[in-house]
Structure 1
Amino acid sequence: MDSKLPLAGETVVFTSTKKSEEPFELVRQYGGEPVSLPLIRTSERLDDEDHLKMKRAQSYDWLIFTSQSAVAAFSAKLGRAGMTAADFSVYVAAVGYKTAAALGRLGFRVDFIPDIFSADVFVRQFSPAGESLRALFVKGNLAGSLITDELPLSVDEWTVYETEPETASAAGIVSLAQQGGPLSILFASPSAVRVFSDYAAPRIGWTGYTIGAIGHITERALTEAGAAADVMPDTYTLPELVRTLAESKGRN
């Protein structure tokens, strides 16, 4: 195999919502064919009290975001409330540089990002100074309770978006797998793993293709589903997952 094109002939399926062209372009640079088949879709959760909740958010010491989807829903609510980042005098924590960048585009300064982009590392590393601090965790409906339960400060939750399965995408992945040919399937969240496990794995199993996991939480979800991640990057981003996949294929 050409070491410069380690993904030649490979179809690489992204099971997360497309937020950037970068990982897709990387697949092409390595000779592969990227396919977007997101297994989950997100939509803003609307509430008659959104305006009031946004006003209350100003009273917290910290705002915590763990996904770009949470930032997008928060942004929509911020706009409808007629507010901007300038109306907030709070600290902001984000899990991941992409989430931090999305907050930056809204005008928020991000004060804390964990070394590894996962909730369990976040709660180990996040220890703000001060007594009786209050944080608001801006989240999706499927977010775990780790941040709320384990942080050393009072944490309230605001669920701003919903996550639903995309069964049509699962059927599309099944069709690709049944066509044969080199195939890699990349998972960026436990939610995507669960949808695949429910709707695709019963038809094609967990073998015959390469499985990529964006990080150890997603890897754990794969293990719990009876699968194993073949590749996982040290830095938990999709571009790094593609690079790790290419390196693995280049060694074969």
Structure 2
Amino acid sequence: MRKDRPLIGETVIFTGTPKSVEVFERVKQYGGKPVSLPLIQVAELKGTTDELRLQACRTYDWLIFTSQSAVAAFGAKMERHGVTSATIPSKIAAVGTRTAEALEKLGFTVEFIPTVFSADVFVKEFKPSETTIRRILFLRGSIAGVTITEELPYAVDEWTVYATERVNDSVDTLIEVVSKEPRVSVLFASPSAVTVFAEEVVPQTGWRGFTIGAIGHVTEQALLKLGAPVHVRPDTYTLMDLVEKLTGRKEG
């Protein structure tokens, strides 16, 4: 095996929907075969009050985004209703550099990112300099946890802008690949994907015989609770860093 192509012969399965092709290209660069078999999908939630809620955003001191999916849904609403970032003077907080980059593409300036890209670290580190914060809005998904809302020492309103749903179309292919391919890595970016995999794939394959990667300690904990080994977890919670961590393991 060539040291500069440690993923030769490795099928790398992404169980979420990557937001860019960069991670696929990186897997190919290292000699691996990237395969997208999403177990969850997200879709914007549209409502009759969307325009009013967009207009109300300007009344909040801070807007909080914890995922690129929330940014994408929010951006779609802005475009549909002719709203620009210039009309929303609120300060912006983002969990993760990719989420921040997506917000910057919409014209926002991100003023806070936690050192670890997770909600539990966010609530510990989010300490704005303002002496008085009146209103905060959390732009969330349908299955987001309560950490942001309940553990910040401020009044936090919520707006659910997208829904997360399970996808069963990939299950049969996943079972076949995991069962038959000699070298497989399965990458998880959320507890939701872990749940679907455990319910639909594991009864046929078990948790052994393939490498398991997780983005973030929350996803890692979800795997461990279900009896799965976690072989790789990057210190920085992005798909690209997970691929790099996987590559480092395969080099060794």
Same fold (TM over 0.5): yes
Query: Helix, strand or coil: the match of 2:20?
Result: coil
* Equivalent position of 2:200 in the other structure: 199
CA contact (8 A) 2:11 2:181 kept: no
> Which residues in structure 2 correspond to 1:98-247 (within 5 Å)?
98-129=98-129, 130-247=131-248
> Which residues in structure 2 correspond to 1:23-102 (within 5 Å)?
23-102=23-102
Q: Distance in 1 between matches of 2:87 and 2:220?
A: 39
Q: Distance in 1 between matches of 2:75 and 2:237?
A: 24
Give how far 1:132 is off. Answer: 3.8
TM-score normalised by structure 1 residue count: 0.97
* Equivalent position of 1:6 in the other structure: 6
Runs (5+) with no aligned partner, structure 2: none
CA contact (8 A) 1:127 1:152 kept: no
Query: Helix, strand or coil: the match of 2:138?
Result: strand
Q: Distance in 2 between matches of 1:50 and 1:201?
A: 40
Give how far 1:23 is off. Answer: 1.2
Give how far 1:141 is off. Answer: 0.4
CA contact (8 A) 1:95 1:113 kept: yes
CA RMSD of aligned residues (A): 1.0
Matched AA of 2:13:
V
State the Cα deviation string for residues 40-80 of structure 1 (Å, max 9, x = none): 11111111111111111111000000001000110111122
Q: How many residues align?
A: 251
Give how far 1:124 is off. Answer: 0.8
TM-score normalised by structure 2 residue count: 0.97
Q: Distance in 2 between matches of 1:22 and 1:133?
A: 40
User: Structure 1 vs Structure 2: percent identity of aligned residues?
Assistant: 54
State the Cα deviation string for residues 13-50 of structure 1 (Å, max 9, x = none): 01111211111111111111000111111111111111
State the Cα deviation string for residues 119-139 of structure 1 (Å, max 9, x = none): 111111001132243110001
Q: Distance in 1 between matches of 2:200 and 2:108?
A: 39
Matched AA of 1:152:
P
Q: Distance in 2 between matches of 1:210 and 1:133?
A: 47
Runs (5+) with no aligned partner, structure 1: none
Q: Distance in 1 between matches of 2:156 and 2:99?
A: 20
* Equivalent position of 1:22 in the other structure: 22
| Shift >4 Å, 4+ stretches | none
